[in-house]
Each structure stands twice: as C-alpha cells, then as structure tokens.
Chain A
Amino acid sequence: DSGVTQTPKHLITATGQRVTLRCSPRSGDLSVYWYQQSLDQGLQFLIQYYNGEERAKGNILERFSAQQFPDLHSELNLSSLELGDSALYFCASSDPLAGDHNEQFFGPGTRLTVL
C-alpha cells in the first residue's frame, strides 16, 4: 500500500459525459501528479500540482482539467469524453523536500471506460 488513494476504482460512462477522479496523496506529500495509461501504452504525464498550485503540464488535453485543494487532495476532471479517453488514470504523490531521491508513490489507479 503506497498510501495514495484514488476513487473511484472503476468508472463506466458514455461519450460526451463528464467525470471527476479523486486522489488523496500520502500524508505530508505536497506534490500530486496525474498520469494516463492507455491499453498497452506507457505512462503519459498529464499535470502536476504542488501545494495547490499548478507546477507542470504534460500532454493534457484542453477537455481535461485538474486542481489541488487546501487539504492537498486533487481532482482530475475529464469532460466531453471520447472513446479514446478510456484508460487507467494514476495519481502519484511525492515530498519535494525528500531531496534528490524524490520518489513518486503511485495510487492504485482509476479505470475509466467510455462507451
């Protein structure tokens, strides 16, 4: 158990809909990262937040947005869903003050299926 929790575990929805994925980081971790992993694909970095502020953006679509709240939990919002958005979405957290060995701890993921 990494200490990172994600809800829901599974989500099935239809094209055009909007969903929200939730992530609670490990206690004390200020950074939260979101990744997308499509079937048989590698992890694609979407976005990072640090202590409530957006820190870095990766290959995140304009239909997707995220935020990190004062209690450090984060939400990833996916709208106007398309079939191609079906994937595993992982959240990871890290403690930037851990120095050079800044390990990211991954949650169990949310499996999104768009029908």
Chain B
Amino acid sequence: KNQVEQSPQSLIILEGKNCTLQCNYTVSPFSNLRWYKQDTGRGPVSLTIMTFSENTKSNGRYTATLDADTKQSSLHITASQLSDSASYICVVRDRFNDYKLSFGAGTTVTVRA
C-alpha cells in the first residue's frame, strides 16, 4: 500500500477559480513534505516544502498546509490560470532514511478558459 495517497485523481476547474488538493500520508516520523508541479512531459519542479513543525507555506498563488497530527496536507491554488494545468505530486521524506522518499500518484489539474 502506498504510503502517500492523493485525492482527487484529477479535476477540472475554470480559469480564475480556486481549488484544493489533498495528500494523506502514513510515513512516520517524517522529515518534510514537499509539493511538486509537473507539467506534461517535463520533470517535476518543487513548489513548497514544509517540515513537521510548519503549518502553512505559500509560494505565490500556491498555499500548502500541513497537519502533522492527522498526517494530512493540502495544496490550495488561488485564482487559477491556464498555466496551472499540470500534475501536482505530494512527496514525503522519511526522517531516518535520508534517501527514502514516498511519492503520491499525483493529482492532474486541468484549468479551462
């Protein structure tokens, strides 16, 4: 069973609208949680990173939240743009194995005009 589960698998939103992506994980204890954006056919690019002591982190119109007690994170996209169409991947790093990363399957976001 994957240690990082993301939902929804995909979603379609209209340009200008907001959306929220979910990430639930079982990795414990964890070192940090990172959200990546992956454009189609390209490598993932880091959006935000949070350690276990952080609750929220913003990067422009992207805001990530973390609840370490419930092992849940979310990524909120505000005022979506066509360029936000991509796959968003949640990655959790194990605290004791510095090479051990657990990847979610990703949420594919499609923004329509």
Contact = CB atoms under 8 A, between A and B. Distances in A.
Our verdict on whether A and B bind, yes or no, reads yes
Interface of A: 2, 4, 31, 41-45, 48, 50, 55-56, 88, 90, 92, 96, 100-104, 106-109, 111
Contacts of B44: 43, 90, 106
Contacts of A56: 99-100
Contacts of B100: 56
Given A2-B43, A43-B89, A109-B43, A103 B104 contact: no
Interface of B: 31-32, 34, 41-46, 49, 51, 89, 93, 98-101, 103-106
Contacts of B46: 103
Contact of A92 (B42, B43, B93, B104): B43
Contact of B45 (A43, A55, A106): A106
Contacts of B31: 100
30 contacts: A2-B43, A31-B99, A42-B103, A42-B104, A42-B106, A43-B44, A43-B103, A44-B103, A45-B101, A45-B103, A48-B99, A50-B99, A55-B99, A56-B99, A56-B100, A88-B41, A90-B44, A92-B43, A100-B32, A101-B49, A102-B93, A102-B98, A103-B34, A103-B49, A104-B101, A106-B44, A107-B43, A108-B43, A109-B41, A109-B42
A100 B51 contact: yes
Contacts of A106: 43-45
Contacts of B43: 2, 4, 90, 92, 106-109
Contacts of A88: 41
Contacts of A103: 34, 46, 49
Contacts of B41: 88, 109, 111
